[in-house]
Structure 1
Amino acid sequence: MPRSLREHSTEHPFQITARCRNREFFPIPMSEVWTIMEDYLFFISHAYQIEIISFVLMSNHFHLIARTPQGNLNEAMNYFMSNTSRCINEKAGAINQLWGSRYHPSLIDCDHYLMNVYKYVYRNPVEAGLSDRAENYTYSTLNLKLGRGRINFPILADTILNESHNFTLKWINQSVDLEQRRMIERALKRPRFAIPKKVRGNKKKPSLATELY
């Protein structure tokens, strides 16, 4: 599933997402999907030097935040999408295409934006009613970073998650209004993540207490 990127960066991360065909749920149990995802996240992190910041698996899609120091996101995601589709379909005994479309990347080129996306991604299970708190969702690297499971693929050291965790987790779990959430969703549909200047505020790196979202 090759894709021609409109935005390129070897320094800044991308938020990458893909959804199942017709928004259907994965055709095998989530635990099995997660294991397949782990295997191929492990592979692309080594074979393509993809630096994984966070990953959240939902019932019919995923969210990945990652950097590509080699500038090879197309190649890495082509491999990831093709092989996760093949393995899931083999387990399900299915022949239909798994993914509804190519993956969608959105370049995140400043720390403030990254904090917004980081919170949005980790809150997805809460917003979908799959978990009471972000850190309690099983199929998330946040859960793994807190030592609640074995990490089977490399994850970059987290510069946002506070050492004591409590302050960061409180921030992640703070609910937001629908307008703010939709603003983030619209921004993530762009090749380069962007939010209105009037909301952006101070261009300096914000503390967790002064985040937008």
Structure 2
Amino acid sequence: MPTLKVPWFPGSSCHITARGNHRNDIFRDGEDFQYYLILIEEALDHFKYDEYNIICYCLMDNHVHILIETKDKPPGKFIGRVNAMYAKYFNKKYNYIGHLFQDRYHPQFIETDAQMLEASRYIHLNPVKANMVEKPEEYQWSSYSMYIGERKEKIICSDKILCYFKDAGKRALYKNFVESGIKVKIDA
């Protein structure tokens, strides 16, 4: 049975998730996370004329979140290249046989500015909601610390999100916006 094409239109933005097969870990050590980021950077160069922009990302142990903006080509070629090359690396490194990823990527297309902001907050809060860290900037494999100015930007285009905030203090305003999504734990 043929795989159905994912609907897409030029200039769209998309929140992509890709999960490990059977929810298994797809990253086992820091080198794995780093290699996936290198593959994203390499794919941005490979597809430079197709003008993909990574708006934000978060790599979790068993899945990835990437918010990507497209221009002339659908995101499938981009994420397909990254995931296929990563699966070859992983399978060789860990002598793994079979599918690394549960399915092809899952896209959620962004239709409004509010959706764009919520997707970025959701992505950046993923490690907090998974109880891996208390603050989103503590998580090493996310673009959040680049957004708030704690790390130099690499592979992302934060201005796609930060343009929604006032120029003076936009990073602090974004930090307040994201962290307002953390539910306060009350001691009983």
Fold similarity call, TM over 0.5 = yes
Matched, 1:167 2:183: no
For each residue in 1:6-50, what CA deviation from the matched residue of structure 2 results, as whole angstroms up to 9, or x when unmatched?
2x1222210000100111123621x12221111111122122232
Q: Deviations over 1:113-166 (max 9, x none)?
A: 111111111111100001111122111011234454455x52114243455322
Aligned to 1:51: 53
- Superposed CA RMSD: 2.1
Q: What is the count of residue pairs matched by the alignment?
A: 173
Provide the residue aligned with 1:33 in structure 2: 32
* Aligned counterpart, 1:68: 70
How far is 1:97 from its partner? Answer: 1.6
What are the ranges of 5 or more consecutive residues in structure 2 without an aligned counterpart?
184-188
| Percent identity of equivalent pairs | 21
How far apart in 1 are the matches of 2:4 and 2:151?
Answer: 33
Matching residue of 1:5:
6
2:12 and 2:27 map into 1 onto residues whose CA distance is: 34
Tell me whether 138-147 or 48-57 shows the greater mean CA deviation. Answer: 138-147
**Matches of 2:143 and 2:15, distance apart in 1:** 14
1:106 Cα deviation after fit = 1.1
* Matched residue SS, 2:64: strand
Question: CA offset at residue 3 of structure 1?
Answer: 6.1
SS at match of 1:113: helix
TM-score by length of 2: 0.82
Q: Which residue of 1 aligns with 2:14?
A: 14
Change (3 A) 1:159 1:67: closer
Say if 1:93 and 1:18 are closer, same or farther in 2 by CA, change over 3 A.
same
- The equivalent of 2:155 in structure 1 is 154
Q: Describe the shift of the 1:87–1:9 C-alpha distance in structure 2 as closer, same or farther (beyond 3 A).
A: same
SS in 2 for 1:154: coil
CA contact (8 A) 1:28 1:88 kept: no
In the alignment, structure 1 segments of 5+ residues that lack a partner are 178-213
Tell me how far 1:65 sits from its aligned partner.
Answer: 0.3
Partner of 1:189: none
Q: Does the CA-based 8 Å contact 1:4-1:74 persist in structure 2?
A: no
Mark the CA change 1:145 to 1:112 in structure 2 (over 3 Å): closer, same or farther: closer
Normalised by the size of structure 1, how large is the TM-score?
0.73
Shift of 1:94: 1.4
